[in-house]
Structure 1
Amino acid sequence: MRSSDYPTLSEAFKVWARIGLLSFGGPAGQIALMHQILVEERKWLGEKRFLHALNYCMLLPGPEAQQLAVYIGWLMHRTLGGVIAGVLFVLPGVVAIMALSWIYAIWGNVGIVEAFFFGLKAAVLAIVAQAVYRIGKRALKNSAMVSIAVAAFVAIFAFGVPFPVIILVAGMIGYVAARRNIAAFRSGGGHGKIGAVQVADADTLLGEESPDHTQVNRAWAFRVSAILLGLWLVPVGALFLALGPAHVFSQIAGFFSVMAVVTFGGAYAVLAYVAQEAVQNFGWLAAGEMLDGLSMAETTPGPLIMVTQFVGFMGALRDAGTLPPLMAATLGGLLTTWVTFTPCFLWIFLGAPFIERLRNNQNLTAALSAITAAVVGVILNLAVWFGLHVVFAEVKPLDVPGLDLLIPVLSSVNLVAAALTVTALLAVLWRGMGTIQVLLLCAGLGVVARLTGIA
C-alpha cells in the first residue's frame, strides 16, 4: 500500500482517539480491537501488514498493544502519526488512573470504597490465574519449555532471583540450544493467537510492499534515537543530580526506566517483579494496595501496565518531603508514566525499519520462545503471591538459609476473601466470564459482604 492510499492524519486522529477510549480488556482485547477497526472495518491496512507489525511488537520490551499502535501510526503517517497513535492510546488510561488514585488516596479507607476494592482483589487473582493458563497453553509446547517455566517459578518464588536475570538466562538457554540444533528449541515458530488474531509465519509477510519512509534511513534513525533518549534519560539524570539517588523521585525514575528495558512477556510478567520490589524493597505501598491498583488498571482503558502510575503515585504520596502530599503523588505518577512509555516510541522508531532483516533468524526465535516459557513461571509466581495476600491477612518469610520464600499464617485466613476468590475463579475459568463482568461481580459481592456485616 502506498502512503497516498492511507487516510488523512485528521481521520486517523479520530480513529486512534476512539481506539484509546475503547481499549479495555488487556493486550489481547486491545489488539483484537485494533484489528477489527483498522483491518476489518476501515480496511486501512491488510492482514499481512497488521500481523507483520504485531510480530515485531511481540519481540519488544514494554506493552505490545501500545507499541503496535505506534507502529501502525508510523506506518501510515510517519513519525507524527506514530506519536499521535501512541499518545492517544494511553491518554484515557493516564487520566482515569490518576482520577482513581486521587479518590483512593482521599477516600480509600471509607467503608464502601474499601469493600469495593476488597471484592476486586479476588477478581484480579482469578484474571491473573487465567493469564497463566492462556499463556502457558500457547507457550509450553514441549517438556523443555515446561522445564524452563518450572525453573523460572522456583527461582523467583523460592530464591528471589530478579526478573531481569531470569529473562536473560532463559534467552541465553534458547539461543545456545538453537545454535546446537536441539529440536525442542528450533520447532517453536510463532506466538500463536493474540485475541482473535492468528499470527502468521514470517515467510508469508515479506513480500508486501511498504511506503518509502519505512526504508532504513540511518541518519533519521540516529536523530530520532537521540531525541527520544534525551526525552527519556535527561530528566532521569537531572533528578539524580538535583535530588540524589535516595529521593523517591529518583528511585521512581531509575526503577521504572530499568523496567522499560526488561519488561518482556507483557504486563502480568513484569508486575510480579514490580510488586515484589515496590512492596518489599522500596515500601511504596502495601501488597493489598498493589492489588487495588491492578484492579483500577483492569477496569480502565489503556495498557494494563498503567498500574505502574498508581505505584509511583502511592510511593510519592508516602514520601512527599516538602511538597504537599497529593502534589508529590501526582508528579510521582506522571513521572512513572513518562519513563515507562517514552522508551516504547524509541523501540518502534529505531527498530521498525530494520526488522525485516531479523524475521527469519531462527536463533532469535528460539531465544524468544524460551523467554516466553520463563514468563509463564513468572506469572504463576504473581498469581501465588497475590493469592497469599488476598486469602491470608498475614504471611511471613520461611526461616531457611538461602531461601527467600513467603508462607501464610494459617490462622490468619480470611474465609470471605477465600470464598470470593473461589467464586471469581469459577466465573473466569469455568463459566468463561469476561474481565469487566467478573470485576463488577466481585466488587458487588464485596460491598454486599460489608453491608451485611459478613466481612
Structure 2
Amino acid sequence: MNSSATPQRPSFREALGFWSRLGWISFGGTAAHIAIMHGYLVEKKKWISNGRFLHALSHCMILPGPEAQQLAIYIGWKLHGKKGGLAAGTLFVLPSMFVLLALSLIYVLFGNLPWIAAMFNGLKPAVIALVLLALLKIAGRALRGPVHYVVAAAAFIGMFFFNVSLPLIMLGAVVLGVLLGHLRPSLFHHQNSLETDEDEHEYFINKYSKSSETDFSSKSLVKLVATALLLWLVPFVLFYFFVDDFHFWRGLAFFFTKTAFVTIGGSYTVIPYVAQISVVKLHWLSKLQMMDGFALAETTPGPLIIVVAFVGFMAGYNHFHGSLWMGILGLLATTFYTFLPCFLFVFAGAPIVERTQGKPAVEGVLSLITAVVVGAILDLTLFLGKGVVFPSGTMALRSIDIVSVAWIITSLLLLKKFRLNVVYLILLSVAFGAGRYLIMLHMR
C-alpha cells in the first residue's frame, strides 16, 4: 500500500473527544489504561502504529510519573503538538480528581458508606478482565524472540517472588540490552523483521512519519523549564499573599513536587513513601485514613497515584480544623504539583524519543523494557487478582469468591467475544456490585 492511503490526521476536536472519554473510563490501573488506548488509537482508529505505540510506552516507563498519562501526553503531542499533549494529559487526570474530590467530601461528611463501596467493588472483577486482555495483547506483540520471553519471565519472578523493585529490573534490562546489542545483535533481528511485515502506511503516525517538533536544543529545554517553573510559582505566590499558614502550603508544594520526581516504576513504588512521610512524619492524616484513601483511589478512573489528591485533601482538612474549603484547596494544589512535572518530562523528552525511532541499538534496548512491562503486568494481575478471588486473604479453595470469578469470566466474554464498549462494562459492573450488595443485605 502506498503512502497516499495513510489516514488523515484526526481533527483536534475528534482527538479531544477521545481524551475526554478516556479520563472517565480509565479504570483498572496502568495496564487497563494502556489497553484502552491501544484498542482505540492503534486497533480502531489507526492513529498510531503498534510499533510507535510500544516505542513510546517503553520511553514512558523509564520516566518519573504515571506511565499511562505520559503516554497520552506523548501521543497527544504527536497528533497536535504541545496543545494536544496538554489536552491529553490534563483530561486524563481531571476526571479522577473530580471523582476523588466528591468521594473525599462524602468520606469526611458521611463516613465510608457501605453501599458506595459495594458499587465500586463490582468494578474489581471487570478490572481484572481488562488487565488480562491488556496482558494478552501486549505480550502477543512484545514477546518476539527467546530473549524477550526470558526477560519477561525474569522480571515477573523478580517482582512476584523476591519483591525486586521495577526501576531496578528496568535498569538491568537496559544494561542487558546494551550488552546484547554489542555482543549478539542478531538476537534482535527477528523483532525487526516482524516489524517490517506490518503495513505502517495504514496508520497516521508510523515509523516513517516525522514530527515538526523533533528539534532538540538547549534553548528549547531552558524555555520549557522556565515555563514550568513560572507555572509552579503561580499558586506558590498566591498561597503567600492570600492564604493563612504559608509554612504548611510551602511544605505541601515541595513534598508533592518531590513525589513527582521519585515516581519511577509505577504508583505502587511511591505510595509507601507518601504514606510514610505524610502519616508518620508530617501527621497530615492517620494510618486508617491513608488506607481508606488508597481504597477510594482504587475505585476512581485515572492513575492510582491520584491517591495523593486524597492525602492533600485530608492534609488541608485536618490542618485547618475540619475546613472543607482548605481540604478542597489542598486537593487541587496536590494534584497540580504532582502532575505538572509530567508534562515537562514528556515535552523535554519527546524530541529525543523521535530521534531514537528506527535505530536498531535503541530499539533493542526498548524492546527489552517492553518485555519487562509484560512481566510487570503479570505481577500486577496476580497482585490485584488475589484480592478479588480470595477476598478473605486466605488462598484456599473454600475461600474463592465464586461470584467474582464468574463476573471476571463474564467480563472477558463481553469484551473479547462481543466487543462490549468499556463504558458499558463499567456501568454493568457498578450495577452488578450494587445488586450483589442488596441481595446480601436481604439475606442477612
Task: With the length of structure 1 as denominator, give the TM-score of the two structures.
Answer: 0.69
Tell me what 1:347 maps to.
Answer: 345
Is the alpha carbon distance of 1:215 and 1:318 closer, same or farther for their aligned partners in structure 2, counting shifts above 3 Å? closer
Q: Are 1:57 and 1:67, in contact at CA under 8 Å, matched by a contact in 2? A: no
Distance 1:165 1:446 in 2: 38
The structural deviation recorded for 1:347 is 3.4
Tell me what 2:433 maps to.
Answer: 446
Tell me what 1:301 maps to.
Answer: none
Q: Are 2:55 and 2:366, in contact at CA under 8 Å, matched by a contact in 1? A: no
Aligned ranges 1:25-44 → 2 under 5 Å: 26-30=33-37
Is the alpha carbon distance of 1:102 and 1:377 closer, same or farther for their aligned partners in structure 2, counting shifts above 3 Å? farther
Q: Percent identity?
A: 25
Q: Given the alignment, which residue of 409, 412, 416 partners 1:429? A: 412
Q: Are 2:156 and 2:375, in contact at CA under 8 Å, matched by a contact in 1? A: yes
Q: Are 2:271 and 2:305, in contact at CA under 8 Å, matched by a contact in 1? A: no
Whether 2:326 is the aligned partner of 1:322: answer no
Is the alpha carbon distance of 1:329 and 1:136 closer, same or farther for their aligned partners in structure 2, counting shifts above 3 Å? farther
The structural deviation recorded for 1:158 is 2.2
Aligned ranges 1:100-115 → 2 under 5 Å: 100-103=103-106, 106-107=109-110, 109-115=112-118
The structural deviation recorded for 1:56 is 4.5
Amino acid corresponding to residue 322 of structure 1 in structure 2: H
Cα deviations across residues 173-230 of structure 1 (Å, max 9, x unaligned)?
122211212433444346999xxx869863x33xx5x55x654454233222333256
Quote the RMSD (CA, aligned, Å). 4.4
Aligned ranges 1:67-82 → 2 under 5 Å: 67-74=74-81, 79=82, 82=85
Q: Are 2:129 and 2:408, in contact at CA under 8 Å, matched by a contact in 1? A: yes
Aligned ranges 1:26-425 → 2 under 5 Å: 26-30=33-37, 55-56=55-56, 59-60=59-60, 61=63, 62=67, 63=69, 64-74=71-81, 79=82, 82-83=85-86, 86-88=89-91, 90-103=93-106, 106-107=109-110, 109-189=112-192, 202=207, 204-205=208-209, 211=212, 215-228=215-228, 231=231, 242=247, 251-259=255-263, 262-263=264-265, 270-273=266-269, 290=294, 292-297=296-301, 304-305=302-303, 307-314=304-311, 316-317=313-314, 321-323=318-320, 324=322, 326-327=324-325, 329-395=327-393, 408=394, 410=396, 413=399, 415=400, 418-425=401-408
Q: Are 1:308 and 1:336, in contact at CA under 8 Å, matched by a contact in 2? A: no
Distance 2:128 2:299 in 1: 10
Distance 2:196 2:168 in 1: 22
Is the alpha carbon distance of 1:355 and 1:112 closer, same or farther for their aligned partners in structure 2, counting shifts above 3 Å? closer
Is the alpha carbon distance of 1:119 and 1:342 closer, same or farther for their aligned partners in structure 2, counting shifts above 3 Å? same
Is the alpha carbon distance of 1:443 and 1:376 closer, same or farther for their aligned partners in structure 2, counting shifts above 3 Å? same
Distance 1:131 1:443 in 2: 21
Q: Are 1:317 and 1:326, in contact at CA under 8 Å, matched by a contact in 2? A: no
The structural deviation recorded for 1:362 is 1.6
Is the alpha carbon distance of 1:120 and 1:103 closer, same or farther for their aligned partners in structure 2, counting shifts above 3 Å? farther
Aligned length: 394
Distance 2:224 2:178 in 1: 30
Cα deviations across residues 376-416 of structure 1 (Å, max 9, x unaligned)?
11122212121222333454xxxxxxxxxxxx464993x5x
Distance 1:279 1:422 in 2: 31
Is the alpha carbon distance of 1:364 and 1:235 closer, same or farther for their aligned partners in structure 2, counting shifts above 3 Å? farther
Gaps of 5+ in 1: 1-5, 41-45, 264-269, 298-303, 396-407
Is the alpha carbon distance of 1:117 and 1:106 closer, same or farther for their aligned partners in structure 2, counting shifts above 3 Å? farther
Distance 2:48 2:138 in 1: 23
Range that drifts further, 430-439 or 111-120: 430-439
Range that drifts further, 445-454 or 347-356: 347-356
